[in-house]
Amino acid sequence: MARLDRVPVGLTSHARSWMPGSQFAVLAHPQPQLVKVAPDSLLDGPEFGTWMLVGRGRLQSDWVTGTLAPAWRTQGLRETEAPAESAAWWGTDKLIEFCSYLPDLSVLYQLVTSVRRTVCHWCGIDVIGDLCVFCSATPPPVHEPAPARALTAGSHRTHRALTTGG
Ligand SMILES: [Zn+2]
């Protein structure tokens, strides 16, 4: 049985009740998930079309390429060997690693630029999204910029003046 200490504890508890030798599939990101491998069992897939990279270790199984990839509406598939570190990471070399990725750089660029980018107020590195990956600082509460507020108040006053005059 593989070591699953990299997976949240809640997920591994019911895996212990499975028969020794049974195969299971683990999703590490973005949402940890663990299922027993069966024709009708699935992991939650990406919300948009992706390609899949499959790294084969010593496990003989078509579940990833034959069941999971079609269920995730994978647009393309590339195969490679599992990285050498994978066996140590999972505690077994009977594995198949897989990940989804966006092959289209322009789509990836759009996704990244649509997310808020700031500079961490604590350590100063570029932050994409809300949490600094380096120091884990979250941005300070956002204060409404003063000029915008003045503009709103000004236009409101003008509007009221017009109404009164007419
Ligand atoms: Zn930081």
What pLDDT shows up at residue 156?
A: 44
DSSP letters spanning 35-100: EE--TT------SS--EEEEEE-S----IIIIIIHHHTT-SEEEEEEPPTTHHHHHT-S--EEEEE
What pLDDT shows up at residue 130?
A: 78
pLDDT tens digits along 127-158: 887 788 888 887 776 655 554 444 444 444 44
The answer to whether the beta carbons of residues 50 and 74 sit under 8 Å apart is: yes
Is the N-terminal amide bond of 83 cis, ω within 30° of 0? no
What pLDDT shows up at residue 149?
A: 47
Q: Which helix (H) or strand (E) holds 26?
A: strand 24-27
The answer to whether the beta carbons of residues 15 and 4 sit under 8 Å apart is: yes
What pLDDT shows up at residue 158?
A: 41
Instruction: Please give the distance, rounded to the nearest whole angstrom, from the Cα atom of residue 140 to the centre of ligand 1.
Output: 12
49-58 average pLDDT score: 92
Instruction: Please give the distance, rounded to the nearest whole angstrom, from the Cα atom of residue 142 to the centre of ligand 1.
Output: 17
Instruction: Please give the distance, rounded to the nearest whole angstrom, from the Cα atom of residue 119 to the centre of ligand 1.
Output: 8
Instruction: Please give the distance, rounded to the nearest whole angstrom, from the Cα atom of residue 111 to the centre of ligand 1.
Output: 22
d(CA 5, CA 135): 25
> Domain ranges in the chain?
9-105, 113-165
pLDDT tens digits along 62-88: 999 999 999 999 999 999 999 989 988
pLDDT tens digits along 24-41: 888 888 888 888 888 778
What pLDDT shows up at residue 42?
A: 85
